[in-house]
Amino acid sequence: MESDVPGGGWSDDFATDITAPLVLDLLEWLAAGPRPYLEVMEVWRTSCPRLTIWEVAVDGGYVVREGGGRRAAVVSLTGLGRQKLVAAGRLTGDDP
């Protein structure tokens, strides 16, 4: 079942009204290209257990961590993540 989150099309059991815009922010930030895993963890770290943006993005299949070890790993936007950004109007279908 879909929620009424504007532009999100999030599943009710997946993201709340609070996390959906923040997950879109993360996806938009990654749309420019892969980022080092340690940078992603530093920038998107939160002390609030109710705002698990990283986990929501990973569990939803919107981002993927690739490469060996924490220092060498990079985080990239998946095709599904790109589709979510396009559906939310944050990325055009023509963007790389």
DSSP assigned state of 47: S
DSSP for 62-79 reads: SEEEESSHHHH-EEEE-H
2-6, 23-27, 60-64, range with the lowest pLDDT:
2-6
In a domain, 94, yes or no: no
* Count: domains in the chain: 1
Angle at 42 between CA 80 and CA 45, to 5 degrees: 70
What's the pLDDT tens digit per position in 19-53? Answer: 888 899 999 999 999 999 999 988 887 777 766 88
pTM for this entry: 0.76
Alpha-carbon Rg for the chain, nearest whole angstrom, is: 13
Q: Could you tell me if 58 and 14 are in contact, meaning their C-beta atoms sit under 8 angstroms apart?
A: no
Helix residue ranges, H only, 11-96: 19-31, 37-43, 53-59, 69-72, 79-87
In a domain, 80, yes or no: yes
Host domain of residue 52: 19-87
State the CATH number of the domain containing residue 61: 1.10.10.10
